[in-house]
Chain A
Amino acid sequence: MNPFISIMLLSTLILSTMIVTISSHWLFAWIGLEMNMMAIIPIMMKKPTPRATEASTKYFLTQATASALLMLAIIINLMYSSQWTIMKLFNPTASILMTMALAIKLGLAPFHFWVPEVTQGIPLTTGLILLTWQKLAPISILYQISPSINLHLMVTMSFLSILIGGWGGLNQTQLRKIMAYSSIAHMGWMTTILLYNPSLTMLNLLIYIIMTFTMFTLLAQNSTTTTLLLSQTWNTMPIMTTFTMLTLLSMGGLPPLTGFMPKWMIIQELTKNESLLLPTLMAITALLNLYFYMRLAYSTALTLFPSTNNMKMKWQFYPTKQMTLLPTAIVLSTMLLPLTPMFFILL
């Protein structure tokens, strides 16, 4: 892409999220969300294939619907509170509408259908932006309206997301779809705790972004998009197999890796609020997620997949692709558990 356009789009993308997070006027936040959507669509269309067009169209339609619903909720809130300040909402209808709008933006079940389709149609790095950066703006709004969100709606949507994120990913071999379902499940974990302790939502989001960034960067090293291609990493970069496996296990929430930390904190916070069945069910459903991560870990690191004869031992050249921040991200996504007390700064 022409570097000028690229700079313009990326800066609009970053600026839009910043606008959403720092604004105190509902209209301004809505504008930020619209800018966000507008900026990412040309990035998704970098290679104008029909598949990318389909993904961008699906993304546009769902996000535009969500923005419209969001505007409706803002207006209803305006009617009942006569002010535009972003704080808790003053009307249950507005609250429910806004929660659903933001759920569509985030890809929470039952509005999750666009996430796998869109993630599959775009290149890996754009998928990374979609699944990490794009979550920041809606979650910041959810954080700010969290006192007025309907508990039943939120918990239903989040538990449904964890279920669907787990079950949906089971039959996939395309890595981008697997990461999309993983994103749905993690969003479910994040929004469960929103009403009890929103700082844990932020913690979970932070850890999720680090782990997803690691995962996508590892995938982008080999330009692998299917399980079959991933299984060939032992040939080209053997050390990546270890890191891929550790990151996958971390995303599955196994101690002593970092991914256990948000789950543990969320379970602790939920039990403090006297709900015991929900965290048990959530934890057990997260095992579905672990199953397809384990399948990927098996094909990557723990077995040597058969390969064609002329691929037997590739010359191991120095990697030419830039490994931006990969070592840092790997360390952060596997070894951060002993530093759990450090995250009290988020409170």
Chain B
Amino acid sequence: MLKFIIPTIMLMPLTWLSKNNFIWVNTTIHSLLISFTSLLLLNQFNDNSLNYSLTFFSDSLSAPLLMLTMWLLPLTLMASQSHLTKEPLTRKKLYITMLITLQTLLIMTFTATELIMFYITFESTLIPTLIIITRWGNQPERLNAGLYFLFYTLMGSLPLLVALTYLQNTLGSLNFLLLQYWAQPLPISWSNTLMWLAYMMAFLVKMPLYGLHLWLPKAHVEAPIAGSMVLAAVLLKLGGYGMLRITSILSPMTEHMAHPFLVLSLWGMIMTSSICLRQTDLKSLIAYSSVSHMALVITAALIQTPWSYMGATALMIAHGLTSSMLFCLANSNYERTHSRTMILARGLQIFLPLMTTWWLLACLANLALPPTINLIGELLVITSTFSWSNLTIILMAMNILITALYSLYMLITTQRGKHSHHINNLTPSFTREHTLMALHIIPLLLLSLNPKIILGFLY
């Protein structure tokens, strides 16, 4: 695993020592090369994991997430080029350094064996993200957004630390590979209820669960583009990854405890999708769409069937790529009109036709069109929740409908219809933006040819 971590750390001297007009080129190319090395992880065994050392391992769940993380760094660097042009050189390098630090910590989180190591790196990802949101965001609301983000996550994760140390004292080790075999069934009692809550709240806040999702629209909207991309694509998946890992040691308590959270996620998914239909702010729409998709992942992780785990993993990867692409598209609008209001830049198909292609593909992926992996994820989750309780099919069907509605609403408002008058002199799309969108959508489409690699460890 050091073959990923050390090159990523070394991207930092690369940033600081490159020539002035080469910082973007160097970092993007080198991070792209590093992301190609992560494809080595595709060689996964079925029943066990690749154990690189005592500290790092990778199995079929963490490998696709790791690939997603590493793929996203060059994309975030490409997306940030434009809004940082006016900054002094040191600040550009600082920004890139924050992204690289975040990347290193995310790699270490997804591959950590020892659960306390996972916790430490999980918490450490907060600091670079906070700095990116607060220092480089654009509106005064970003201060509040940073505080909400930091404190919601910390409130949830401090009980996790206590619970993990308790588990270490009880079982003797927190090495995840051993825990899978050592874990005793958890009897139902009040103290075990509190312990289950301590484990899960950290990840539920991160996902986010519907009642605890207040930080997400703030953080996503106020963050600069790289921050939004990384937040939506990877940081939310940390919660999902944590849940999928920790539920394996928490059974059978989960069947008893999961009901309120299942209700919250199922209802929340409808609520947040519906609120998308009433959003005027484009980034806010995509943020609420993220909450809705993640609610599906929470539902899948909590009902703990093989199909639901596969659906959760597939959904996480699919949503990561789709949501990141949507944020990039929203950013391309923002850079031209300096406003996130959707109706200010409408009818763009006349002016930027190729960008419309990317908008179309992103919105179609968002509404889970066959044969994308979004559909595979959603279908597996819907089927497994149907088998858990027949009534959920009503909620799921409503969700699919409303998701389709808002995705197409977003597409039609921005692309179709009569254009607004003031966008006559829009700057044409850059090749960099087209590359960015292509690099998002091509993995998404290619994965629909072989979705086996993202279906997680229960395939």
Contacts and interface: CB of A to CB of B under 8 A. Distances in A.
A195 B118 CA distance: 30
Contacts of B162: 267, 271, 276, 279-280, 283
A276 B198 CA distance: 11
29 contacts: A254-B123, A255-B119, A256-B120, A256-B121, A256-B123, A256-B124, A256-B127, A257-B127, A260-B120, A260-B123, A264-B161, A267-B161, A271-B165, A272-B169, A276-B162, A279-B162, A283-B161, A284-B158, A287-B151, A287-B155, A290-B150, A290-B154, A291-B147, A301-B135, A302-B134, A302-B146, A303-B134, A303-B135, A337-B120
The 4 tightest CB contacts between A and B, nearest first, are: A283-B158, A256-B124, A302-B134, A271-B165
Contacts of B158: 280, 283-284, 287
B159 interface: yes
Interface in B141-194: 143, 146-147, 150-151, 154-155, 158-159, 161-162, 165-166, 168-169
A294 B120 contact: no
Given A287-B158, A302-B135, A271 B123 contact: no
Nearest to A249: B127
A144 to B, nearest CB: 28
Interface residues of B, number: 27
Contacts of B198: 280
B230 to A, nearest CB: 18
B143 A268 contact: no
A24 B145 CA distance: 55
A262 B110 CA distance: 25
Interface in A282-329: 283-284, 287, 290-291, 294, 298, 301-303
A294 B154 CA distance: 13
B126 A254 contact: yes
A301 B121 CA distance: 23
B154 A280 contact: no
B166 A255 contact: no
Nearest to B135: A302
B165 A254 contact: no
Contacts of A302: 131, 134-135, 143, 146
Contact of A287 (B120, B126, B154, B169): B154
A251 to B, nearest CB: 13
Contacts of B123: 254-256, 260
Contacts of B124: 254-256
Interface in A197-252: 249
Contacts of A255: 119-121, 123-124
B61 to A, nearest CB: 23
B166 A271 contact: yes
Interface of B: prevailing SS:
helix
Interface in A75-98: none
B150 A294 contact: yes
Contacts of A279: 162
A298 B155 contact: no
A284 B155 contact: yes
A298 B143 contact: yes
A1 to B, nearest CB: 41
Given A260-B123, A271-B169, 9 more contacts: A256-B105, A256-B121, A257-B127, A260-B120, A267-B165, A271-B165, A271-B166, A279-B162, A294-B146
Contacts of A272: 165, 169
A104 B123 CA distance: 36
Interface string B103-139: 0010000000000000111011011000100110000
A251 B123 CA distance: 15
Contacts of B120: 255-256, 260, 337
A254 B129 CA distance: 13
Contacts of A276: 162, 166
A252 B298 CA distance: 31
Nearest to B108: A256
Interface in B78-105: 105
Contacts of B134: 298, 302-303
Contact of A280 (B127, B135, B147, B159): B159
Nearest to A337: B120
Contacts of B126: 254
Contacts of B169: 271-272
B165 to A, nearest CB: 4
Nearest to A246: B127
A271 B164 CA distance: 10
B264 to A, nearest CB: 22
B135 A268 contact: no
Nearest to B166: A271
